[in-house]
Amino acid sequence: MNNDKKSILITGSSSGIGLAVAKDLSKLGWNVIASCRKEEDCKILEDRYGLSSTLIDYDNQKSIISGLEYTLEKTNGKIDVLFNNGAYGLPALVEDIPVDSLRGIFETNFFGWHSLTKEIIPHMKVNGSGRIIQNSSILGFMALKYRGAYTATKYAIEAMSDTLRLEIKDDNIKVIIIQPGPITTKFRENSYIRFKGSIDWQESDYKSIYVNKIIPRLESKKIKKTTFELLPNAVSKAVIHACTARNPRIRYRITWATVIMMYLKRFLTDNLFDRISSKL
């Protein structure tokens, strides 16, 4: 690697948004470390795309440390940008989510992010600058039915990121939030795996909702794209701007759905907004 180039560590790079960002920044000449949760996915990134890849599993602190050590070795100790991206969903009614499963999704989607960020900040301070980009969601500022666990983790990321931004501003480290709306990824099928391992829907008082709404959507291979749905490269463009702009935005809202819902959330009463979101 050319250590004179800018460097970025990306998590959740096996597909979707993480992979798109890794490929696009690599084409722009960045030193990209694209991490994955599974060794076989790391090998695919190296063999198929020529990317430097390392194992980082947010549920495994040892992998966070070893993945960071690999990154620092590849970049001569200089990480310009961290893009926290890896996360999963757990579709279910809140009443049916086991406490241990809720702890599990927070371990991946929130505590793992915090752990990696904590480890990287001292290196950014030594280098005199850095950017921490957090891939949140439209569900980081609004709620939808059956997505309570994932929404809770994104609200937590938003709050922690806003606080961190205020605290490390004088260290020349910028904290930036990405808020994608509907993006075409493998998120749904990965969520279905978690759903099957965690939710006892057959014993639920809401069994009919699972049978008629939640499970058919999770199982469908041919869900028609929504009007506002975009490909992962739409998020990649925003991340690239966040990486390279002299004065990046604090929040990047991706898809018109996110922009529209943000304005509705801001200007409508809670009761009226609930009436709208309950129909989505």
Contact by Cβ (8 Å): 79, 96: no
Q: Residue 243, exposed/middle/buried by CB under 10 A (0-12, 13-18, 19+)?
A: buried
Q: Is 82 helix (H, G, I), strand (E, B) or coil?
A: strand
In this structure, what is the dihedral angle of CA atoms 59, 61, 63, 66, given to the nearest 10 degrees?
160
Distance CA 35, CA 52 (A): 8
**Going by C-beta distance under 8 Å and a sequence separation of 6 or more, which residues neighbour residue 238?**
178, 252, 254
- From the list 92, 74, 82, the residue with the least C-alpha distance to 112 is 82
49 counts as catalytic = no
Distance CA 178, CA 85 (A): 10
User: Considering 150, 155, 210, 252, which one is annotated as catalytic?
Assistant: 150
Q: Order of strands, edge to edge, in the sheet holding 251-254?
A: 52-55, 31-36, 7-10, 81-84, 130-135, 173-180, 251-254
Give catalytic residues, as residue numbers: 150
